[in-house]
Amino acid sequence: MIAAIIQARTGSTRLPNKIFKLIEGKPLIWHITERVKRAKLVDEVIIATTTNAMDDSVEQWCNENGVAIYRGSENDVLNRYYGAAVKAKADVVIRITCDDPFKDPGVIDGTVQYFLDNQFDFASNNNPPTFPEGLDVEVMTFKTLETMEQNAATDFEREHVTQYVYKNPDKFSVGNYPYERDLSKLRWTIDTENDLEMARLVYSQLYPAKPFFTYKDILELLDKHPEITEINQNEKRSALYN
């Protein structure tokens, strides 16, 4: 059982309630969930949200849209992931964040297949990063997730889920799935209004004709309209991309 667990909550500090911001008439959480569902190697998609009352809206949305849900700690995201994986009876867990409107099923499948072929404990496509920020995928065995749950001690490790692996590479077999060229300076995630504006503009150009457009479609669009990239290029980036 390969489960994609999408961490999602409404309490984002930089852009509150962003998972329900509309893009082409559908909330961000819908776009991400539907894109992940289209990965051929994903058996189940489950939303991992918090037990806070403000995230009752996430549970309601999942129930209305037939999406599995698990609710756990807001700050101990690692424990939330572990609980979701146990509920899904997952053998392999894919970590997905609900910030990224362009999640690509092909990139997910590529990373998972690389993980399976090499029998890694953990694999990602962002260490070092080569894909655009926002196409991130992390894949791990359930045993690896359980080891992190049992041993990660710091608040940072508990909040950021997979940091225990990155800090202890000698304890795991780890692989990185690279892109053919370095596109890591491209910002395809949503933390601010500028990010949202960029995503909405890309969707307005591609979504009507091809709802599940690929990252290659986006690259072609940006080659023709480089001004789109400039909309959010100066936003503060994840430390992974510094």
Compute the C-alpha angle 219/220/223, nearest 5°.
85
Residue at 84: amino acid letter: A
- What CATH number is attached to the domain comprising 220? 3.90.550.10
pLDDT of residue 143: 98
pLDDT of residue 240: 52
Contact call for residues 178 and 130 (beta carbons, < 8 A): yes
Contact call for residues 90 and 142 (beta carbons, < 8 A): yes
Q: Show the domain range for 187.
A: 2-241
Q: What's the predicted TM-score (pTM) here?
A: 0.94
pLDDT of residue 238: 61
Secondary structure of residue 39 in the 3-state scheme: coil
SS3 content of the chain, % helix, strand, coil (to 5): 45, 15, 40
pLDDT of residue 33: 98
pLDDT of residue 157: 87
Domain count, the chain: 1
CA proximity to 126, closest of 189, 77, 171: 189
Cα four-point dihedral sign 48, 51, 56, 60: positive
- pLDDT per residue, tens digit, the chain (242 aa), is 999 999 999 987 788 899 999 999 999 999 999 999 999 999 999 999 999 999 999 999 999 999 999 999 999 999 999 999 999 999 999 999 999 999 999 999 999 999 999 999 999 999 999 999 999 999 999 999 999 999 998 988 898 899 999 999 999 999 999 999 999 999 999 999 999 999 999 999 999 999 999 999 999 999 999 999 999 988 877 655 45
